[in-house]
Amino acid sequence: MYQEARTALPRARVRGPLPLLGPAFVTAIAYVDPGNFATNITAGSTFGYLLVWVVVVSNLMAMLIQYLSAKVGIATGESLPALCRRHFPRPVTRALWVQGEVVAIATDLAEVVGGALALKLLFGLPLVTGGLITAVVAFALLGLQTRGHRPFEVAIAGLLGVILVGFAYDVAVSGLEPLAIVSGTVPRFDGTESLLLATGMLGATVMPHAIYLHSALTRDRYVRTTEAERRSLLASQRTDVVVAMTVAGLMNLSLLVVAAKVLSGPGKSVDTIEGAHAGLGDALGPGAALLFALALLASGFAASSVGTYAGQVVMEGFLRLRVPLVVRRLVTLVPALVILALGVDPTRALVVSQVVLSFGIPFALVPLVIFTRRADVMGSLVNRRLTTVVASLIAVVIIALNAVLVQQTVWG
């Protein structure tokens, strides 16, 4: 059987209420990737604390979507792409695979560009050289999968920790303005520009590759022979998602808060990562700028490996095909290196990659909602009606916001 062939490592039995957390921390990297750096810095430096509420709402949406994706893997033992292959007509499956590959390329573009930018800020390396180094490190991280699920998850969680430390230091040095942060949790806008920026922040929150990957990370981790074991595993993954997404949300909030505190004001608006790095150095000292660049580097390394992993899941699920990891890496790496070699503005490349990712969101989000509401697919773990209603509303909002984002970016 195909499912047996793909499971190279033995699965552990579920014991206790919190068996082996980790999948959500891997997918959480998608929420603190270099694209998020650019978006949150721009929001904070341009509008201060005005859009704090967008980060909060985005994070709540992400929690539910990633939980549903984790539940798919637990309930069915299959990834979301594999379920699409099983239940949808072949032409639809092939079309979904094509868009999934485009999403994988756009994902890798953002992560490789982010890592290259960080290496340029830290060591003055050319962007192409930095991109190659990012690719090599990401490949090494993916190699940890041969030792089982845990080493890879621990490595990604460690890099997530580096990002957290960098952000925490910058927040501590810049200081907090609690009243201003609280006031920012009230939904409001300040003109068309703030509306468009909020649309970009909300609409680009849920990444399609994170949805595909999360279902694969939970599909075959444990033997699930009883209903009690399934429920226990689901409870652990619920906790995993809440904790990991909360950490990611706090990181995004930290970026916005620091930018609002030290990079906003007359003549200070910053809309590039290089500008933010320089601004932090001027306002908070070289230590803050260094940790910011290290956080960006960790984000690029981790997110690039996770993006390639997601690309494997896409091809395996939609086509029932696995290719050597080196080939898989090259497929998504080459376009990113070409972009860097052509001298395209890195921040602009990050923005364009987010727009491309926006096109892929409906193709992951709609099937997720459809399958999790079907008892014949999910069994006893099928959604409650309220869960389906909320998930459907979130899907409609995200898709609508992405449509606005794409329209404004492409057609102005």
* Rg (alpha carbons) of the chain, rounded to whole number: 20
For residue 13, the cross-strand partners are: 223
Tell me the residue length of the chain.
412
Q: What is the pTM of this model?
A: 0.89
Select 2-411's CATH number: 3.40.50.11740, 3.20.20.80, 1.20.1740.10, 3.40.50.300.
Answer: 1.20.1740.10
- HSE toward the beta carbon, residue 155, CA cutoff 13 A: 20
**109 near 337, Cβ under 8 Å?**
no
3-state secondary structure of 177: coil
For residue 222, the cross-strand partners are: 12
Residues 198, 204: Cα–Cα separation, whole Å: 10
Greatest mean pLDDT among 5-19, 134-148, 163-177, 182-196: 163-177
Segment 292-332, tens digit of pLDDT? 999 999 999 999 999 889 988 999 999 998 888 778 878 77
Segment 94-128, tens digit of pLDDT? 999 999 988 888 888 888 999 999 999 999 999 99
89 φ/ψ sector (left φ>0, alpha ψ -120 to 50, else beta):
beta
Segment 369-406, tens digit of pLDDT? 999 999 999 999 999 999 999 999 998 988 887 777 66
Band (6; pLDDT cuts 50, 70, 90) = very low
The confidence score (pLDDT) of residue 146 equals: 78
What average pLDDT does the segment 44-68 reach?
94
The confidence score (pLDDT) of residue 5 equals: 38
Residue type, 410: V
Residues 348, 337: Cα–Cα separation, whole Å: 15
Pairing of strands 12-13, 222-223: parallel
Residues 187, 209: Cα–Cα separation, whole Å: 29
Is the per-residue pLDDT at 410 higher than 70? no
Segment 222-271, tens digit of pLDDT? 666 777 878 888 888 999 999 999 999 999 999 999 999 999 877 777 87
**332 near 311, Cβ under 8 Å?**
yes
> Which of 165-179, 221-235, 315-329, 354-368 shows the lowest per-residue confidence on average (mean pLDDT)?
221-235
**Which is nearest to 276 in space by CA: 24, 40, 4?**
40
End-to-end CA distance of the chain: 50
**34 near 336, Cβ under 8 Å?**
no
Band (204; pLDDT cuts 50, 70, 90) = low
Is the per-residue pLDDT at 3 higher than 70? no
Residues 299, 159: Cα–Cα separation, whole Å: 7
- HSE toward the beta carbon, residue 252, CA cutoff 13 A: 33
Is the per-residue pLDDT at 355 higher than 80? no
What average pLDDT does the segment 180-184 reach?
96
Query: What residues have CB less than 8 Å from 193, skipping those under 6 apart?
Result: 46
Is the per-residue pLDDT at 18 higher than 60? no
Band (412; pLDDT cuts 50, 70, 90) = low
**C-alpha angle with apex 239: 216 to 241, nearest 5 degrees?**
45
The confidence score (pLDDT) of residue 409 equals: 64
Percent of the chain with pLDDT over 90: 53
What are the residue boundaries of the structural domains of the chain, listed by start? 2-411
**174 near 262, Cβ under 8 Å?**
yes
What average pLDDT does the segment 181-192 reach?
90
Is the per-residue pLDDT at 277 higher than 80? yes
Residues 267, 30: Cα–Cα separation, whole Å: 32
| Mean pLDDT across the chain | 86
**378 near 75, Cβ under 8 Å?**
yes
Q: What is the dihedral of CA 313, 139, 239, 33, to 10 degrees?
A: -100
The confidence score (pLDDT) of residue 222 equals: 63
Phi, psi (degrees; rounded to nearest 5) at 383: -60, 145
CA dihedral over 397, 401, 402, 407, signed as positive or negative:
positive
The confidence score (pLDDT) of residue 148 equals: 74
The confidence score (pLDDT) of residue 359 equals: 77
**333 near 108, Cβ under 8 Å?**
yes
Band (407; pLDDT cuts 50, 70, 90) = confident
The confidence score (pLDDT) of residue 114 equals: 92
Percent of the chain with pLDDT over 70: 91
The confidence score (pLDDT) of residue 281 equals: 95
DSSP string, 13-45: EP-SSS----HHHHHHGGGGSHHHHHHHHHHHH
Return the H-helix or E-strand segment holding 15. Answer: none
